[in-house]
Amino acid sequence: MAEGLLTGTPGDQGNGPNLGPAAGLAGVGRLENPGLRHIGHTRWVRICHWIMAVSVVTLAFSGFFILMAHPRLYWGAVGNDLTPALLELPISRNYRHGGWAPSIPFFSDSSSPVSAARIYDILNQNSWGRSLHFLAAWFLVVTAAVYVVIGIFTGHIRRHLLPRVGEFTPRLWHDLFGHLRLQIQPTTAGPPYGLLQKCTYFAVVFLALPLAIVTGLAMSPAVAAAYPVLQDVWGGSQSARTIHFFTFAALIVFIAVHVLMVILSGFKRQVRAMTLGN
């Protein structure tokens, strides 16, 4: 997971280094006093970071195989090969099926349901894919919950992730265009963050991740049976699946940009800070 998403330093307890404005989406900041020794991320942050990183990679891998089994997105409560799709993704041979056997009615009356049998072999990795996806999801949920709870009690979230009204200045646009031009300076790891970083990390921690988790639970038959409101609030399980897909796609884009910022701002230094702590 993103370093800035799970970044904290001993400064969270009031004895951290004096860092200047942040310089990139990698969770980095300039050291105002070059002679001051920079202390790395706290142990709980590093543990949460890497558990979440492995969880997200596993979710992306298993989720892709699940999507390959049925690369069609719908809106509403129902969706299958016989209903129009909102979006079709050409990522497997299941994208364009080879056809269906002639439909046979189950009963003699005109309103009888009919059979729908495929005449082509499909890619189906749903069994292990769904099991692995669900397992990795719980690792992500539990670790994220631990991070948020500790972050609240230590003040890390309040001090480093919540944007303040006074920070919304024209400087935000300058930072945004600088990032788009990849004008990233080598920096030290850790907070404080700039406004662009705070807005991004806040959106990931408190909007994107909860949305992905809730819509994921809405697709679980067992969970939805116990709490049908999880599907109703989105307009059906297929709507939840579509929202889940686009939310996780946005998270993948965020992680890709984050890794790029880490590389541009000093890869070895950033990775060392998130693994060894300094």
Q: Splitting the chain (278 residues) into consecutive groups of 10 residues, what average pLDDT does each group show? A: 41 41 43 44 85 94 91 90 87 73 83 78 77 94 94 86 78 73 65 77 91 93 91 93 96 91 82 78
- Alpha-helical segments (H) within 38-182: 43-69, 126-154, 156-160, 171-180
Q: What is the CATH number of the domain that holds 126?
A: 1.20.950.20
Let me know: does 143 contact 1? Beta carbons within 8 Å: no
Let me know: does 55 contact 133? Beta carbons within 8 Å: no
Phi, psi of 178 (to 5 degrees): -65, -40
Query: What separation in angstroms does the CA of 264 have from each of 47, 186, 271?
Result: 24, 7, 12
Cβ atoms within 10 Å, residue 64: 15
Let me know: does 66 contact 129? Beta carbons within 8 Å: yes
Domain count, the chain: 1
CA distance 276 to 271: 8
Burial class (CB in 10 A: 0-12, 13-18, 19+), 26: buried
Classified as helix, coil or strand, 169 is coil
Classified as helix, coil or strand, 20 is strand
Let me know: does 202 contact 168? Beta carbons within 8 Å: no
Classified as helix, coil or strand, 246 is helix
Residue range(s) defining the domain that contains residue 166: 10-95+122-275
> Which among 204, 238, 203 is positioned nearest to 218, based on CA atoms?
238
Looking up tokens 């002679």 gives 35
| 68 located within any domain | yes
Looking up tokens 């897909």 gives 245
Let me know: does 132 contact 62? Beta carbons within 8 Å: yes
| 106 located within any domain | no
| 90 located within any domain | yes
Here the tokens at position 185 are 């300076």
Over its C-alpha atoms, the chain yields an Rg (Å, rounded) of 23
pLDDT of 152: 92
| 105 located within any domain | no
pLDDT of 112: 85
| 117 located within any domain | no
| 2 located within any domain | no
Here the tokens at position 155 are 């003040």
| 132 located within any domain | yes
pLDDT of 147: 92
Give the global pTM: 0.76
pLDDT of 149: 95
| 233 located within any domain | yes
pLDDT of 38: 46
Let me know: does 71 contact 141? Beta carbons within 8 Å: no
pLDDT of 14: 42
